[in-house]
Amino acid sequence: MIYSLHLKNFKPFEDQLIEFRQLTLLSGLNGMGKSSALQSLLLLRQSYQQRLLQRKRLALNGDLVSIGTAKDALFEGAKEELIGIKLIVEYREKMTWEWNFRYDQKADVLRTDIAPITQEIHDFSLFGNYFHYLQAERLGPRNVFEMSDYSVSQNFQIGTRGEYAEHFLYVFGDQKINTIGLEQKFSQNIPKNLERFKQNEPNKLSHPKEKSLLLKNQVKAWMGEISPGTRIHIDPIEGVDLMSLRYSFEMGKEVSSRYRNTNVGFGITYTLPVIVAALASIPGSLDLSLK
């Protein structure tokens, strides 16, 4: 868990402390720094994925976020030429991780002399597989959606635009929420942790009216809160790495025909990845989403 984020000279923040809880909502007017706060975490993650953070480097541009150069990242009225990111986290025990990156106006990779030990951060939720990030610009209704065995089956990701949410639901739909992928993750290394997670109470995320804890049933129940009676139908298309998505609707004791995803509006398609990401999260994971 991340307890706090302290930003120094980063975009709109000269010196800002942000404290987190298990559920944290950031709200405010445009341009006040909501996205910038999340971008600081994304910078650390993408730098780790590019194997730069391990070498005391920060990548300002990548798959998760593109800031530009150091000039774009530095607070306009900065009194010193450095960008600081400090995290207080709990991983096995409460600890502080801090980076102070040197300013280089035209550089898109920043350097620091001091960084946390790589092994300490290796399995933390911000850097591991159990991290979900949904950007504001997500995929709208499509007749077909992409499949990715690497992203979904191996790394438990739904895509930053929610592009693999349908494939994720198809692959893991028959697993119980809060246990998805635990066998794959812990089977060789930490069997005791696997048992501890399995004994955790998965009903904390479950819909109060749905007895089944299977992901597909829980997604259906929560989708019903947004669009009552919604049924989801996902099928792979033979010969190509694509998924077909259709919806039907319960009307009393009857069920409608299956409608193309493009014919049911944007709301359901935009909501589905958020629900899948939340229900797919095991204890200790981290979800970031922009409106």
Task: State the pTM of this model.
Answer: 0.83
Burial of 268 (C-beta count, 10 Å sphere; 0-12/13-18/19+) = middle
Task: Tell me: pLDDT of 30 over 70.
Answer: yes
The number of C-alpha atoms within 13 Å of 288 and in the hemisphere containing its C-beta is: 23
Helix, strand, coil % in the chain, rounded to nearest 5: 30, 25, 45
Mean pLDDT across the chain, nearest whole number?
Answer: 86
User: What digits encode the pLDDT tens for the residues 63-113?
Assistant: 999 999 999 999 999 999 999 999 998 877 888 999 999 999 899 999 999
Of 106, 15, 16, 116, nearest to 56 by C-alpha is 116
Of 167, 159, 109, 111, nearest to 138 by C-alpha is 159
**What is the per-residue pLDDT for 1?**
83
> CA 30, CA 134: separation in Å to the nearest integer?
19
Question: Do 279 and 205 touch, CB atoms closer than 8 A?
Answer: yes
Greater confidence (187 vs 231) lies with 231
The domains located in the chain, with CATH, are 2-121 (3.40.50), 131-289 (no CATH)
Task: Tell me: pLDDT of 264 over 90.
Answer: no
Of 203, 256, 263, nearest to 230 by C-alpha is 256
How sure is the predictor about 193, in pLDDT bands with cuts at 50, 70 and 90? very low
Burial of 222 (C-beta count, 10 Å sphere; 0-12/13-18/19+) = buried
**What is the per-residue pLDDT for 192?**
42
**What is the per-residue pLDDT for 190?**
38
Question: Do 281 and 35 touch, CB atoms closer than 8 A?
Answer: no
